Structure 1
Amino acid sequence: MTELGAAEHRFIEAMGLLFERQGGTRIGGRMQALLMLADEPLSLKRIAELLKVSAASVSTNIRASMAMGLVEPVSVPGDRQHYYVINAEGYEGRLRTAEESLKAFIRVCRSAMATPQLSGKHHLREATEFCEFYLAEMAGIAERWRASRAARPARTSKASKGRTA
């Protein structure tokens, strides 16, 4: 990946701000965007150069992105540096995390409603019913996505050539 153009910079900055609004770090969002744009695996050093940030910040944020399942390390034959790419299954992982979060929220609300003092609280019941409805609507989304993805013709990109996980 060579230098970034204006459109790439706008996307990268927008993603950084989005991540920050959602409780993440701006640099984490910027790195995610950069890796989404990259046609090849990027090293920590190259990520830092392109984003004009410190290598330490990239290292810290790449570990967080890996822990969330958004990024994965790959090796480049003949090169000992660490390289990173977008984890294509990472989006499903985020969906599962969101589902688990909703389920935990429902458990806490149901537990509260089980106590006599809180059993009649309208907002607890509404929140629980909404989350249960939402989960029911989300059921099967990942499976339908995988099926639609499998039905598409295989695509190869520069990023998938010559790399190993």
Structure 2
Amino acid sequence: MTELGAAEHRFIEAMGLHFERQGGTRIGGRIHALLMLAEEPLSLKRIAELLKVSAASVSTNIRACMAMGLVEPASVPGDRQHYYVISSEGWESRLHTAEDAMKAFVRVCQSALATPHLAAKPHLREAAEFCDFYLAEMAGIAERWRASRATRPGRTSKAPKGRTA
């Protein structure tokens, strides 16, 4: 990846702000956006250069992106630097994270509803009912996503984790 144009910068900054609004870090969002645009694995050093941030900041935030399942390491034959790409399973990882958060939330609500004097609280009951509805509606979404991807014309095959350039 050479230099970034105005459109790329706008997208990267918008993604940074989006991540920040969602409780993440702006630099994490910017890294994710940059890797979405990259056509080859990028090293920590190159990410830092393109985003004009410190390598230490990239290192810290790349680990957070990896923990969220958005980014994965990649290797470049003959090169010992650490390289990164968008995770081949990142979107499904986001689905699973949202589902796990909703399940945890509903457990808290259900525990409270088991207490007799809280059981009649309408907002608490509605929250638990919404969670149940949401989880039922989302059931199987990852499988439907994979199926829809497999049938698209011109679809390239999914690369395995730790792919090489």
1:101-138 Cα offsets, whole Å, 9 max, x none, are 11111111111011111010000011111111111111
CA contact (8 A) 2:73 2:85 kept: yes
Q: Distance in 1 between matches of 2:80 and 2:102?
A: 42
Corresponding position of 1:91: 91
Secondary structure in structure 2 of the residue aligned to 1:130 = helix
Corresponding position of 2:121: 121
Matched, 1:21 2:21: yes
Corresponding position of 1:107: 107
Alpha-carbon deviation of 1:91? Answer: 1.2
1:59-110 Cα offsets, whole Å, 9 max, x none, are 0001111111110001101111111000020111111111111111111111
**Ranges in structure 2 where 5+ consecutive residues have no aligned partner:** none
Over 6 Å off, 4+ runs: none
Q: Distance in 2 between matches of 1:117 and 1:138?
A: 31
Q: How many matched pairs? A: 161
TM-score for the superposition, normalised by structure 1:
0.93
Secondary structure in structure 1 of the residue aligned to 2:102 = helix
Corresponding position of 1:32: 32
Secondary structure in structure 2 of the residue aligned to 1:136 = helix
CA contact (8 A) 2:27 2:61 kept: yes
**Ranges in structure 1 where 5+ consecutive residues have no aligned partner:** none
Moved more, 127-136 or 8-17: 127-136
One-letter amino acid of the structure 2 residue matched with residue 75 of structure 1: S
Corresponding position of 1:81: 81
Corresponding position of 1:4: 4
TM-score for the superposition, normalised by structure 2:
0.93
One-letter amino acid of the structure 1 residue matched with residue 4 of structure 2: L
Secondary structure in structure 1 of the residue aligned to 2:82 = strand
Corresponding position of 1:145: 145
Secondary structure in structure 1 of the residue aligned to 2:73 = strand
Alpha-carbon deviation of 1:164? Answer: 2.5
Corresponding position of 2:57: 57
